[in-house]
Amino acid sequence: MTIRNLEHAVDPKSVAVFGASVRQGSVGRIIMENIAAGGFEGDVWPVNPKYREIDGRRCYATADQLPAAPELAVIATPPRTVPGIIGELGRKGTRTAVVISAGLSRENGLRQAMLDAAKPYLFRVIGPNTVGLIVPHANLNASFAHMNPKPGVLALLSQSGAIATSLIDWAADKEIGFSHVVSLGDMADVDVGDYLDLLAGDTRTRAILLYLESIPNPRKFMSAARAAARLKPVIAVKTGRHAAGAKAATTHTGALSGSDKVVDAALGRAGILRVRGLGELFDAAETVARFPKLERSRVGIVTNGGGAGVLAVDRLADLRAELAELSQETIERLDKALPANWSRANPVDIIGDAPPERYGAAVAAVADDSETDALLVMNCPTGLASPAEAARAVARLAKDGMINGKPVLTCWLGEMTAREGRRILQKAGVASFETPAAAAAAVSYLSDWSRAQKALMRVPSSLGEDIRGHSATVRDMLRNAASKGRRMLTEPEAKAVIKAYGIPVPETIVVRTGDEAE
Amino acid sequence: MTIRNLEHAVDPKSVAVFGASVRQGSVGRIIMENIAAGGFEGDVWPVNPKYREIDGRRCYATADQLPAAPELAVIATPPRTVPGIIGELGRKGTRTAVVISAGLSRENGLRQAMLDAAKPYLFRVIGPNTVGLIVPHANLNASFAHMNPKPGVLALLSQSGAIATSLIDWAADKEIGFSHVVSLGDMADVDVGDYLDLLAGDTRTRAILLYLESIPNPRKFMSAARAAARLKPVIAVKTGRHAAGAKAATTHTGALSGSDKVVDAALGRAGILRVRGLGELFDAAETVARFPKLERSRVGIVTNGGGAGVLAVDRLADLRAELAELSQETIERLDKALPANWSRANPVDIIGDAPPERYGAAVAAVADDSETDALLVMNCPTGLASPAEAARAVARLAKDGMINGKPVLTCWLGEMTAREGRRILQKAGVASFETPAAAAAAVSYLSDWSRAQKALMRVPSSLGEDIRGHSATVRDMLRNAASKGRRMLTEPEAKAVIKAYGIPVPETIVVRTGDEAE
C-alpha cells in the first residue's frame, strides 16, 4: 500500500486531456469546459488527433507530441486505446492519470493490459469508469460532472459517479463545499484505502465522506480507515445492506458486497460512522465535525411540548442513543424555576406556554448537570409564546454551538412559524433540525461517534497473527467433517473448536441411552 | 359507543366561549381571535362575568343569560368551574363542549364531577386539556392554535396539542389543508374511537391522520378503526415504541402505553398504516390517498444511476417492500431499447447518458410488464443529459399520476439541478421525492397499505365472543398456577391452555428418569 505518485492528483501544474473534443454533449467536451470553469491556472493540453485546436488551445495528436510530461493525465478515449496511452505517458514521465473511459473489464483483458502498462513506472491510475476528480482548492475540475463544487472542508470518495454528482448537487444548494471529490470508479489501481491514506494527512480536509458498494481490499481499507478515523471523522454509506441491495450492487459495479453484519462490524472497528442514506452523510458530517469528541453522550432534553419529547425519546431508543438521568439537584433547581406541572424527569417538559425566561432557566439547569453530555432543545408552536423568542433565549446561552462546553442540538417543530426560530439559532452557530427524528439522528451521530472512537482506542490494530489455538485439534475436526462431505460442524464439534481457542463453553456430553444420561 | 351529539362539533350554528378575554396572550383572547379569523358565520357569544363586551360582541356573565342554548360551547375557565358550567349548559339544551381547561384530573375529582354533570344530557365533552378543534370547511376555529389551517381533505386527531399545532404549521407551508383538526386532550368522554366513527362517514375527509401516545379504550378503538380503514386510509404515529418513550409518554399524558408489539399487531389488524415520524404522516397520506388500492405492490425501478437504484433497493428491503422480477419479454424488449451494458434486471439501469427517449422506452416497458404493480423512476444529475428533459419524458407517459394504471413515484436526486425536474413531474401530477430513502418509504406505504387492507378483509371483525375452548380446563390451570403464587405458566401448562382452544401443539410428556424417557 502506498500513496506514492498520488500527490500529483492533488495540485498538478499541468493537465493533458486525452479524448478532448468540441462535440456538444460529449464527455471530452464537458471535461474541457469543466477544467476551464474550475479556473485551473496550470497548463492544459488537449490531446486528440482529430483536432488542431480546441477552445483556442493547441490540440496534440499523441502523448509523444506534448511539450512536456503532464503532471496529471485525464483519459476519455475508447477503452482499447487506454493501455497504449498509459505506456506512452509513462515513458514521457507522467505518473498519474484519471481514466474516465468505461469498458476496460477483466473479461476483455483491457483492465490488466492497462495495469501492466502502468506497472514499470509505479504509474497510478484512478478509475477506470469514473466521472473524474475535483479539487476545488486547486481550481481543478477534471471530471464530467454537471457542476463545479465550491471549496470546503469535506472530502467525498464515491464508488458511484452518479452518487458523486448527486451529492455535489445537494451540497451546492446547502452551500457546502469540498476539499476533494473523487469518483473512484472500478478501483483497478487506486482504491478507497489509498485515498483515505492521502486524505488523512490533508490539512484542508476536516471530514471524509464515503459512498461504497463494496470494499475491494479489506485489509488495506481497514488499516487506512483506522488511521484516518483517529484524525478526523470518516462517515460512510455502504450499500448492499440486504441481499436484494447486494444483488443490485453486483449488477451495478460487479463487486461482491459481503455479508452486511461483517461489514458493519468492520466499519465499526475501523472507527467509521456508518449512516444509511445520502442526506445523513452531510447531516452526520456537519454534526460530528462541529463539536469536539465526546467521551459519552447522555442527552438532556428540554421541550415545551410533551409529544415532541416522546417522539425524540422513541427515536433515540431506535438509534441506541443514551438518555440522561437528571440529578436530584437539577430536579430541585427546576422545581423552583418551572410551573408545578412540569414533567420532573428527562425530557424536561416546560409546558406549552413557556416564555423565553423559562427556556433559559431550564436549559441552563440541564446544561449544568454533570449527568448530561449534550442537550436537545425543542419547541412546538402554540398561540401562547413566541418560538422566535424561545430561540433567542437558547442562542444567548450558546457559545460555539455549545452550552457549558456541551453540544446543543435544537428542533423547532413546524415550518411557517419555526423558520425564524431556526434562522436565529443557526445564525448563533447552534445546530438546528426540522423534525424530532432528524434531531434525534443528530444526537445519535454524536453517540455513535464517541462509540466509534472508543472502539478505535480499545481494539489492537491486528489480532490475526497472535491467535495460538490448538490448531492441530481444529484442523483434525474440520478435516473429519470435510471427509464426511459435511459443510457444517455438529454442535459438539463446533464447541470443541471454540474451546481449542481457549474460549470457555458449557460442557457437553453425548449420551446414547437413558441409562447413560442417568 | 356512540357518536350521538358529536355532530354539533362539525358545523354548529352558534358558539359560546367561556373564559373569553381581552387580556393579551391569554387563552380566552386567542380563542376569540381564532374564531374571528376563521370567518365563523354563526352566532358567537363570549361568556365572562368580568366583561360586558369583547371585540364589539356582547359578553354574558353566565350560561343562563345566553340568548339561547349554544350549539357548541368552548370552555377555557379555571378547572373547578367546569362541572358547573357543563350542568348549566345541559339544562339550557347544549349537548357538546370543547373543554380547553387543564387541571381536571382523576386525583382532584374534577374529571369525574365534569362527567357526572354531563351524563344526564348525553352531553359530549371533547377534552379536557385540549388546544381545541378546527373545522376549516365550516369556518370554525375553536382553538388556541397559533394559526388557521386551510380547508382540505385530511383529518387530524391528536392526543397532543403541541403536535397538532406543529402539524398545522408544517401543513401550511406545504399548502396542505384539513377537513378536521381535533386536539383530543385527556379524552375523558369523546375519544379517538368516537372521532374515527364520525370521520369514517365524513365525505369531506379522504384520509385520517392520528397522533397517539396511548389507546384508552382498545376494543372501541379497534372496532372504529376497522370500520374507518375500510373506507379511507387511516395513518397513525403511535409513540412509546420503546420503554423509554413509553415512560416519557406516561409523564406527559398520564396514559399507559402498553407493549409496542401488541400495539403494532393491533394497529395492523385494524387496517391502520403505522408510520414512525410526523413528516411521514403527510407523506403516507399523500401517497396512499393519491392512488386506488393495490392488490400487490411489486415495484419496478428505472434509474440512470446504478448507485441510486442500489440505495433504493436497500431501503425497500428495510421496509419490507416487494421488488418486481421482470418478465423475460420485458428483458428482451429492453435489450432492444437500451445500450448493451444495461443492468438486465430490476433495477433497470439505463446508464448515465440516458436521453429522454431512453427514459420513455424503459419506463413504458416496465409499466407494461404484468409482474410490476408500481414504478419508481429515478434520475441522477450528470453532465451528459438533462434531468428536466428526463422528467418531461416520464410526465408525458403519466395520467393521474399513473402509467398503465400503475402508481408512479419519482426521485430526482440532487437539488440545484433536480428542482426543475421535480417541478415538471409535480405539475403533471406525478409524485416526486427528494431522496432514494423518501421514495422508497413512499413505495413502502403503498405496500403496507395493500397489506393492511388485506389483513382487514381476512380477519373476522370479532373473535372475542366466538371462542369456545375448554374454558373449565383453562380456568383450572390458571387457578392452580395462581394458588402457587406463580404469575407465569410452565411450558406444559401453557401448551395445555393453547391446546384447550383447539390450536395444535407438539406433544409434550414430562419424564422424571432416564428409563421413562426410553
For B447-469, write each residue's pLDDT tens digit: 888 888 888 887 554 444 445 55
Total H helices, total E strands in chain B: 18, 21
Same domain, A415 and A472: no
Same domain, A13 and A85: yes
Among A64, A99, A130, the domain boundary falls at A130
| Out of B211, B277, B316, closest to residue A437 by CB | B277
Q: What CATH number is given to the structural domain containing A162?
A: 3.40.50.261
- Give the side-chain half-sphere CA count within 13 A for A238: 25
Q: What is the pLDDT of residue B257?
A: 46
Per-residue pLDDT, averaged over A95-100, amounts to 98
Q: Hey, are the CB atoms on B279 and A308 less than 8 Å from each other?
A: no
How many domains does chain A contain in total? 4
Same domain, A418 and A301: yes
Contact between A242 and B313 (Cβ < 8 Å): yes
Per-residue pLDDT, averaged over B408-435, amounts to 95
N- to C-terminal Cα separation, chain A: 61
Spatial distance between the Cα atoms of A201 and A231, rounded to a whole number of angstroms: 8
> What is the DSSP code (8-state) at residue B407?
E
Q: Hey, are the CB atoms on A251 and B349 less than 8 Å from each other?
A: yes
Q: In what order do the strands lie in the sheet with A178-183?
A: A140-143, A132-135, A178-183, A151-158, A207-212, A234-238, A273-274
Residue A81 has pLDDT above 80, yes or no: yes
Residue A461 has pLDDT above 70, yes or no: no
Q: Does residue A166 belong to the interface with chain B, where contact is any CB pair within 8 Å? A: yes
Among A130, A165, A187, the domain boundary falls at A130
Measured between CA atoms, how close is B66 to chain A, in angstroms?
A: 28
Q: SS3 string of A378-414?
A: EECCCCCCCHHHHHHHHHHHCECCEECCEEEEEEECC
Measured between CA atoms, how close is A7 to chain B, in angstroms?
A: 27
Q: Hey, are the CB atoms on A381 and B146 less than 8 Å from each other?
A: yes
pLDDT interval class at B245 (50, 70, 90): low
Residue B509 has pLDDT above 80, yes or no: no
Same domain, A86 and A123: yes
Cβ-based neighbours of A248, under 8 Å, separated by 6 or more: A240, B306, B309, B310, B313, B343, B345, B347
Cβ-based neighbours of B480, under 8 Å, separated by 6 or more: B493
Task: Give the alpha-carbon dihedral of B191, B195, B196, B201, to 10 degrees.
Answer: 160
Q: Hey, are the CB atoms on B162 and A317 less than 8 Å from each other?
A: no
Per-residue pLDDT, averaged over A379-390, amounts to 94
B144 within some domain: no
Q: What is the pLDDT of residue B497?
A: 73
Q: Hey, are the CB atoms on B173 and A249 less than 8 Å from each other?
A: no
Residue B370 φ/ψ, nearest 5 degrees: -70, -10
Grid coordinates representing B440 are: 422508497
Spatial distance between the Cα atoms of B162 and A379, rounded to a whole number of angstroms: 9
**Which range has the worst mean pLDDT, A212-221, A336-345, A491-500, B149-158?**
A491-500
Residue B252's nearest CA partner among B186, B183, B170, B166 is B186
**Which range has the worst mean pLDDT, A170-179, A345-354, B150-159, B477-486?**
B477-486
Per-residue pLDDT, averaged over A175-201, amounts to 96
Choose between B37 and A253: higher pLDDT: B37
Q: What is the pLDDT of residue B498?
A: 74
CA angle, A506 as apex, A505 and A510 as ends, to 5°? 115
Same domain, A251 and A304: no
Kindly tell me the burial class for residue B7, based on how many C-beta atoms sit within 10 Å of its own C-beta (0-12, 13-18, 19 or more).
middle
pLDDT interval class at A244 (50, 70, 90): low
% of chain B exceeding 70 in pLDDT: 91
Same domain, A300 and A445: yes
Q: Hey, are the CB atoms on B146 and A417 less than 8 Å from each other?
A: yes
B34 within some domain: yes
DSSP assignment string, A430-468: -EEESSHHHHHHHHHHHHHHHHHHHHHHHS-S--GGG--
Tens-place pLDDT, residues A245-283: 666 666 555 444 457 888 888 898 899 999 989 989 988
* Amino acid sitting at position A482: A
Residues of chain A positioned with their CB less than 8 A from the CB of B384: 25, 27, 30, 144
**Average pLDDT over all residues of chain B:** 90
Residue A230's nearest CA partner among A484, A495, A453 is A453
Same domain, A416 and A437: yes
**Which range has the worst mean pLDDT, A166-170, A191-195, A284-288, B94-98?**
A284-288
| Out of B173, B211, B435, closest to residue A415 by CB | B173
Residue A31's nearest CA partner among A21, A40, A39, A41 is A21
Q: Does residue B512 belong to the interface with chain A, where contact is any CB pair within 8 Å? A: no
Q: What is the pLDDT of residue B517?
A: 65
The residue of B74, B148, B163, B166 whose CB has the most chain A CBs within 10 angstroms, and thus the best one to mutate to test that interface, is B166
Grid coordinates representing B502 are: 383447539
pLDDT interval class at B405 (50, 70, 90): very high
Q: What is the pLDDT of residue B299?
A: 96
What is the domain range of residue A489? 466-517
B346 within some domain: yes
Grid coordinates representing A352 are: 406549552
Most confident of A479-493, B34-48, B208-222, B441-455: B34-48
Burial per residue of A82-102, b for 16 or more beta-carbon CB atoms within 10 angstroms, e otherwise? bbebbbbbbebebbbbbbbbb
Q: Indicate the SS3 state at residue A272.
A: coil
A143 within some domain: no
Residue B303 has pLDDT above 90, yes or no: yes
Question: What is the distance, to the nearest Å, from the Cα of residue B413 to the centroid of all Cα atoms in its chain?
Answer: 28
Same domain, B274 and B320: no
Q: What CATH number is given to the structural domain containing B107?
A: 3.40.50.720
Q: What is the pLDDT of residue A381?
A: 95
Helix (H) or strand (E) holding A253: helix A243-253
| Out of B163, B242, B513, closest to residue A518 by CB | B513
Same domain, A355 and A413: yes
Per-residue pLDDT, averaged over A439-461, amounts to 83
Q: Hey, are the CB atoms on A515 and B513 less than 8 Å from each other?
A: no
Among B97, B129, B161, the domain boundary falls at B129
As a residue count, chain A comes to 518
Tens-place pLDDT, residues B40-63: 999 999 999 999 999 999 999 999
Burial per residue of B13-37, b for 16 or more beta-carbon CB atoms within 10 angstroms, e otherwise? ebbbbbbbbbeeebbbbbbbebbee
Per-residue pLDDT, averaged over A63-79, amounts to 98
Measured between CA atoms, how close is B398 to chain A, in angstroms?
A: 25
Residue B247 has pLDDT above 90, yes or no: no
A140 within some domain: no
A185 within some domain: yes
Q: Hey, are the CB atoms on A248 and B347 less than 8 Å from each other?
A: yes
A405 within some domain: yes
Q: Does residue B506 belong to the interface with chain A, where contact is any CB pair within 8 Å? A: no
pLDDT interval class at B518 (50, 70, 90): low
Cβ-based neighbours of B14, under 8 Å, separated by 6 or more: B42, B43, B44, B45, B68, B70, B71, B72
Q: Hey, are the CB atoms on B384 and A27 less than 8 Å from each other?
A: yes
Q: What is the pLDDT of residue B256?
A: 42
Contact between B357 and B390 (Cβ < 8 Å): no
Q: How far is CA A155 from CA A159, A165, A226, A456, B46, in A?
A: 13, 13, 17, 21, 63
Which residue's C-alpha cell is 432543545? A377
Q: Hey, are the CB atoms on B173 and A27 less than 8 Å from each other?
A: no
Same domain, A239 and A379: no
Measured between CA atoms, how close is B436 to chain A, in angstroms?
A: 8
Same domain, B441 and B304: yes
Grid coordinates representing A224 are: 487506512
Grid coordinates representing A211 are: 459512498
Q: What is the pLDDT of residue A470?
A: 66
Q: What is the pLDDT of residue B279?
A: 86
B139 within some domain: no
Residue B90 has pLDDT above 70, yes or no: yes
Same domain, B500 and B472: yes
Q: Report the 10 Å Cβ neighbour count for B39.
A: 12
Q: Indicate the SS3 state at residue B470.
A: coil
Tens-place pLDDT, residues A208-222: 999 999 888 889 999
Per-residue pLDDT, averaged over A303-328, amounts to 94
The residue of A23, A104, A143, A166 whose CB has the most chain B CBs within 10 angstroms, and thus the best one to mutate to test that interface, is A166
DSSP bridge partners of A374 = A299
Residue A233 φ/ψ, nearest 5 degrees: -60, 135
